[in-house]
Amino acid sequence: MANANSPAQDAQAPEASRQAQGQYQNFTPVQRLSFGKTMNILWNAIFNKPRNTRPSAPVPVQPLTQAALIAAPNHSVYRLGHSTVLLKLRDKFWITDPVFAERASPVQWAGPKRFHQPPISLEQLPPIEAVILSHDHYDHLDHQAVLKLADKTRYFLTPLGVGDTLIKWGIDAAKVRQFDWWQGTEVEGIQFIATPSQHFSGRGLLDGNRTLWASWVMIDGDTRIFFSGDSGYFDGFKRIGERFGPFDLTLMETGAYNVDWPQVHMQPEQTLQAHIDLKGRWLLPIHNGTFDLSTHAWFEPFDRILALAWDRSVSITTPQMGEAFNLMYPRRGEAWWLEVEQQPAYENQKSAG
C-alpha cells in the first residue's frame, strides 16, 4: 500500500475555490456554451441520438444483500451504477454519489433512464458511515435517495453549498459537513479531503455554479483512494497526485464525454493521463454503463479505456455492477459489456437453428 504522509499538513494548500458574483469558478475559466449551441446539443440529444447509446440486451448485475456486505472483508469496493460506489473500510460502509432513481432528471417521467436496476435497494443497504458527494447534478445528487438514506447515514460530506441544499431538504444539519477545496475531515480514523475538479454545478435555470464541485481523497492508514466526481482534464490532477499520491485505487470518470463539452468531461485518453498524474495503481472507470448522457455508444468508454490502459501497462479493473473488487487481492475483471452486445445476434442464431 502507499506510504502515508500527513493529510492534515497537505490539506493546508493555498488554492481555495474562487467566486465571482456569487458563482464558483474553475482555476482555468471554462468557456460557456452559447444559447444556440446549447439548443443544438439538446435537439440532438432528443431527436438524433444513436440507438447504440443504450444497450441492446440486459446489463449483467450481481445482486447484493445486506448480509453478504456485512460478511465481506474490508477494502471491498462495489460499483452500484454510474458514479455510485460502495466501499467497506474499517468495518464501516461509505458511498459516493448515491443515485438510485430510475432517471437522472428533475422529473421521473422524462430524461435519461437507467440501463439496469441497482444491485441492492436503498432499504437493504447496511448503515452508512458517510455519503460522499461530488456535486449537485441530477446524475450525482438524487433527492429521494438522500432522504431515504438520512436515517441510516451518520454523515454527509459535501463541497461548499451542496450541504446547504441537503439541509433545505430536511437533513439534520449536525450530519452535514461541507468543505472548500483542500479542506477535509476525519471520520472513524479515515481522512476525507475535498480536492479540486474542473466542472460546474446547478439543478435549475437560475442556480448555475452557486454550489461547489469537487473530487475526493480518502486515506485509510496506508490505503489511498481517489474519487474523481466529474471533471475535465486539468493540471489539478498532477497537484493532487503530488500532495496525496500515490493512490492504490482511482475511481475515474470515463463516460458522457463529447467534443461539444471538452472542458468539463474527459475523453478516455485524458482519464488515463489523469490516473497517471495521480500516481494511481489501479484504475476503476466509473460514470458509465447506467445512463445515456452523451451520443457515444454506451460500451465505447469501456472499450477505449481498456485498450488505452493495456497499451500503457496500466492496471485496470472493470467489475460488473455489484461485483466485488478487493484492494488486497485486486483483479482485472471481465469485458462483460462485449457479451451484452452479442446477445441479440446469439439469440437470433439459436432461433434460426
**What are phi and psi for residue 182, nearest 5 degrees?**
75, 5
Instruction: Give the class (CATH, top level) of 62-352.
Output: alpha beta
What confidence tens digit (pLDDT) does each residue in 231-282 have?
999 999 999 999 999 999 999 999 999 998 899 999 999 999 999 999 999 9
Break the chain into its structural domains and give their ranges: 62-352
Cβ distance 219 to 4 under 8 Å? yes
What pLDDT does residue 346 have? 37
What pLDDT does residue 28 have? 86
**d(Cα 26, Cα 200) in Å, to the nearest integer?**
8
Q: Poorest-confidence range of 40-49, 57-66, 91-100? A: 40-49
168: CB partners within 8 A, 6+ apart: none
**What are phi and psi for residue 88, nearest 5 degrees?**
-110, 110
The two most distant CA atoms of the chain are separated, in Å, by: 68
Q: Poorest-confidence range of 26-35, 52-61, 108-117, 221-230? A: 26-35
Q: Residue 52: which pLDDT band, with cuts at 50, 70 and 90?
A: very high
Q: What is the pTM of this model?
A: 0.92
**d(Cα 139, Cα 101) in Å, to the nearest integer?**
9
Mean pLDDT over residues 162-187, rounded?
A: 98
Identity of the residue numbered 200: F
What pLDDT does residue 112 have? 93
Q: Is 70 exceeded by the pLDDT of residue 130? A: yes
Three cell numbers, residue 228: 474523481
253 by Cβ neighbours in 10 Å (0-12 / 13-18 / 19+) ranks as buried
